[in-house]
Structure 1
Amino acid sequence: MEKNVSEMGSVDCLPSQTRSTITLDVDSKKDEEYNPLEHRQVEHPTSTLGSFFHLLKSSLGSGILSMPAAFKHTGIIPGCIGTVIVGFIATHCVHILVTTSRDICKECHVASLSYTTTCERVFKNGPKRTRPYSTFVRHFVDYAMAGVCLGGTSVYVIFIASSLKSIFDNYASDTKYPVEAYCGFLLLPLILITQLRHLKFLVPFSLLANLSLVVTFGITCFYTFSGLPDLSKVKLVNSVAQWPLFLSTAIFAMEGINVVMPIENEMANPEDFLGCPGVLNITMTLVAALYGVVGLFGYLKYGEGVDANLIVSLPKDDLSTPAVYSLLQKKERLTYIMKHK
């Protein structure tokens, strides 16, 4: 075919059917040769380890403290199996999203696509009957992502504000502010942090957050692993009618798909994201294991009386009290000593 084409001078001189066949062959060859990962030019790429910290933080949060209550709704056996299933489904969905995004990047010859653009291009390049809905799908995904981010962030802000209120109401001063005031106090640092546009510069924050979670996880395990009571307080299988409560808690705790594409798009080595082992598989395996351990042993320890937030169920002593509590207590003791010296 190449010899015939060269002899005739150009493709345009060939019959229409032959010319169409050559065009398809050339396009197919281009698709096979184009690798979007090799054409990415990221201004501030994130290392593989930094991407691991980001993905771990997006999937591992305060929801881990609600897992014992989630196990209470299902019982031990469905809870353990359900944690594995939810973790597998969450991982599989991310695999589908990233693989689809790379495939459409290859087809469109672009280096990377965002979550919303991936959805739009999939519909635009899909069957003819789906193409008119591409713009609608883009807007729908944008609004859905905004709702998820705002809703999830609001939960975390209220959680932090409530914790700060408990600290300062009990240890700092006689002046007590409402939770709304602490939400306002958090507004300035949150605005400043959100000005960082590149994930590479957010790695220290993710690392600090993950270290804090590890410390909290260690303290929690210290109490939940020691002195397990009579196991008659727990149920192996609970009523199926309560299982949806487990699913809602587990999905909220593990869900972090909204940050997957930004993390994958800004990786210095995006080929390390998928695969076995890969950043995604390692992260989600660790997340599912941590959630399962906290949920199982937290439920075994406190039984049907476990609180929706495991921290509330822990004994109030020096170890379970946050470090800032201890610092404030020491400050009060020092002030008392100086006054009565």
Structure 2
Amino acid sequence: MCKHVEATTTFSAAISSTEQLTHKDKDNSHTVELKEIQKSIEAGEYDPYDFRDVEHPTTNIETLLHLLKGSLGTGILAMPMAFYHSGYVLGLIATAAIGLLCTYCIHMLIKCEYELCKRRKVSYMTYPATAECALQEGPPFLQKLAPYSVHVCNTFLLLYQLGTCCVYTVFIGENVQKVLSEYFDGVDERLIMLAFLLPLIFINYIKNLKLLVPLSSFANVLTVISFGIILYYLIKEDITLEDRKPVGNWRDFPLFFGTVLFALEAIGVIMPLENEMKTPGSFGGSCGVLNIGMFSIITMYVLMGLFGYLAYGSKIEGSISYSLNGEEIPAQVAKILLALTIFISHSLQMYVAIDITWNQYLNIKLEKSRYKTFLRVPHQDFACICLAVAVPYIDLFISLFGALCLSALGLAFPAIIDTSTYWDTLKGVRGILILTKNFFIVIFAVCGLVVGTSTSLEKIVEKFSTSGNSTT
């Protein structure tokens, strides 16, 4: 992939891009800027930001709002349960620390993408392409792994997106079940999940995301209303430190780790957002879009986790919406609105999964198949529904996929990419410090992946054995 990109986007292609830009601006408002770009190219310099031909570029504010929207999902609603596992003091400190580490790793990834784009003379790269190009310039043993890095990244991205869809499916079923159970007896959340299979398949057949914009805007309004109701209940409850643990059981800390990673790391939207910006140089920096967005996200997650745990204590459930008083109408409204919001958002998450599996792998093999259109969506929706029905535990799902996928995508891979990108310059004391820093990030990520994944799977097995014993 990377070699093909390099071959087709040469030095002359960059100059051609400048000429196209010149033709676009008939009012000559950017003549001086284009001349400077032309001079920099002729001098052997290449700035990828000057050649990003985005049809509908987003402003800094729009990008910030997209970043916030991409991070405010089921993860924030699971933060009180995360604090239950960690304790309120350790949870506060650890959430802030993990959030800062995630932000730093995203900065590394964006910086490496920019540097590799300059070297390859391309305007932007995807996450898998960045990984492949970086490894090609790294130490010899990593260069051998470069051809496989695209598939490794795609595998983790696919697992993450499908895992998110599983979480969304469980969330929809559980919230609807808790409302219906107030009026009917014997309502099973598994049957509700199965009932949503066909609607989810139909909405995921929408190929043009622009058609989902009105629904997405509607979902944002519903989210604000739902969060307002949750805030009302948090204020209404007694916020107390009595019977609340400052530090939780260390055996449960991996569950906290996976949940926080799942909640904080919107790694799937970071690079696309930066690539679609009108001024992508504003994304990084000390007061850039990323830092402002991540600071806001970390703050909201800490507050939701802290006050949610202090309000409900050991009674907290996998999502704070489950803990609201089901007999009251406002609580029922919040649950239904959240279920509807997540139903709409499901298509956006599945869109990425379909893009990876279909456009990069299956489309070539099934190009001439008469059933191509029908095969594009259902198998992934069916797999997510089956897994959600089999394991309807949202808190453990979140912890599992957070630890399994985001330890790699959000922490380990950016550190490896950073090391490989600047491998030839890592000399002297500075080089040793950078290598040591990245080494410890990778070790921390691998430990989080192994321990977090194994702990989540162990808890899932315990849930099954407990439920099995209760039915016998």
Rounded to whole Å, the distance in 2 between the matches of 1:37 and 1:268 is 9
Alignment of 1:218-233 (within 5 A): 218-228=228-238, 230-233=240-243
Alignment of 1:316-331 (within 5 A): 316=326, 317-322=328-333
Stretch of structure 1 that moved more, 177-186 or 307-316: 177-186
Rounded to whole Å, the distance in 2 between the matches of 1:260 and 1:202 is 20
Q: Is the 8 A contact 2:82 2:91 kept in 1?
A: yes
Q: Choose which of 40, 46, 62 in structure 2 pairs with 1:50.
A: 62
TM-score (norm 1): 0.77
Rounded to whole Å, the distance in 2 between the matches of 1:182 and 1:169 is 17
Per-residue CA deviations over 1:68-109 (Å, capped at 9, x if unaligned) read 111111111101001101211121111111110001001111
Per-residue CA deviations over 1:206-226 (Å, capped at 9, x if unaligned) read 544443333222221222123
Q: Is the 8 A contact 2:81 2:305 kept in 1?
A: yes
Rounded to whole Å, the distance in 1 between the matches of 2:162 and 2:220 is 22
Rounded to whole Å, the distance in 2 between the matches of 1:207 and 1:279 is 21
SS at match of 2:55: coil
For the pair shown, which has the larger CA radius of gyration, 1 or 2? 1
Question: In 2 relative to 1, CA 211–228 (structure 1 residues): closer, same or farther, beyond 3 Å?
Answer: same
Q: Percent of pairs identical after alignment?
A: 34
1:245 aligns with 2:259: no
Q: What's the counterpart of residue 309 of structure 2?
A: 299
What is the aligned length? 295
Q: What's the counterpart of residue 234 of structure 1?
A: 244
Q: What's the counterpart of residue 196 of structure 2?
A: 182
Amino acid at match of 2:329: D
Alignment of 1:154-193 (within 5 A): 154-167=166-179, 178-192=192-206
Rounded to whole Å, the distance in 1 between the matches of 2:192 and 2:138 is 52
Rounded to whole Å, the distance in 1 between the matches of 2:336 and 2:269 is 33
User: How much has 1:190 moved relative to structure 2?
Assistant: 2.8
Q: What's the counterpart of residue 133 of structure 2?
A: 121
Q: What's the counterpart of residue 357 of structure 2?
A: none
Q: Comparing both chains, which one has the higher relative contact order based on Cα–Cα distances under 8 Å and sequence gaps of 6 or more?
A: 1
- Structure 1 spans left out of the alignment, 5+ residues: 1-25, 327-341
Alignment root-mean-square deviation, CA? 2.9
Rounded to whole Å, the distance in 2 between the matches of 1:67 and 1:292 is 8
Amino acid at match of 1:53: L
Q: Is the 8 A contact 1:51 1:279 kept in 2?
A: yes
SS at match of 2:332: coil
Rounded to whole Å, the distance in 1 between the matches of 2:241 and 2:118 is 55
Amino acid at match of 1:321: Q
Stretch of structure 1 that moved more, 35-44 or 120-129: 120-129
Alignment of 1:140-159 (within 5 A): 140-159=152-171
- Structure 2 spans left out of the alignment, 5+ residues: 1-39, 338-472
Per-residue CA deviations over 1:87-138 (Å, capped at 9, x if unaligned) read 1112111111111000100111111111111111111233344323211111
Rounded to whole Å, the distance in 2 between the matches of 1:222 and 1:38 is 47
Amino acid at match of 1:180: L
TM-score (norm 2): 0.57
User: How much has 1:165 moved relative to structure 2?
Assistant: 5.0
Rounded to whole Å, the distance in 2 between the matches of 1:235 and 1:175 is 34
Question: In 2 relative to 1, CA 325–69 (structure 1 residues): closer, same or farther, beyond 3 Å?
Answer: closer
Amino acid at match of 1:141: C
User: How much has 1:303 moved relative to structure 2?
Assistant: 1.3
Rounded to whole Å, the distance in 2 between the matches of 1:101 and 1:311 is 39
Rounded to whole Å, the distance in 1 between the matches of 2:196 and 2:177 is 7
Q: What's the counterpart of residue 255 of structure 1?
A: 265
SS at match of 1:233: coil
User: How much has 1:183 moved relative to structure 2?
Assistant: 2.7
Rounded to whole Å, the distance in 2 between the matches of 1:43 and 1:105 is 20
Q: Is the 8 A contact 1:69 1:299 kept in 2?
A: yes
Rounded to whole Å, the distance in 1 between the matches of 2:299 and 2:152 is 33
Q: What's the counterpart of residue 19 of structure 1?
A: none
Q: What's the counterpart of residue 297 of structure 2?
A: 287
Rounded to whole Å, the distance in 2 between the matches of 1:324 and 1:300 is 21
Amino acid at match of 1:151: G
Per-residue CA deviations over 1:51-75 (Å, capped at 9, x if unaligned) read 2222212222111111111111111
Amino acid at match of 1:251: L
Q: Is the 8 A contact 2:230 2:334 kept in 1?
A: no
Amino acid at match of 1:123: L
Q: Choose which of 98, 104, 107 in structure 2 pairs with 1:95.
A: 107
Question: In 2 relative to 1, CA 155–244 (structure 1 residues): closer, same or farther, beyond 3 Å?
Answer: same
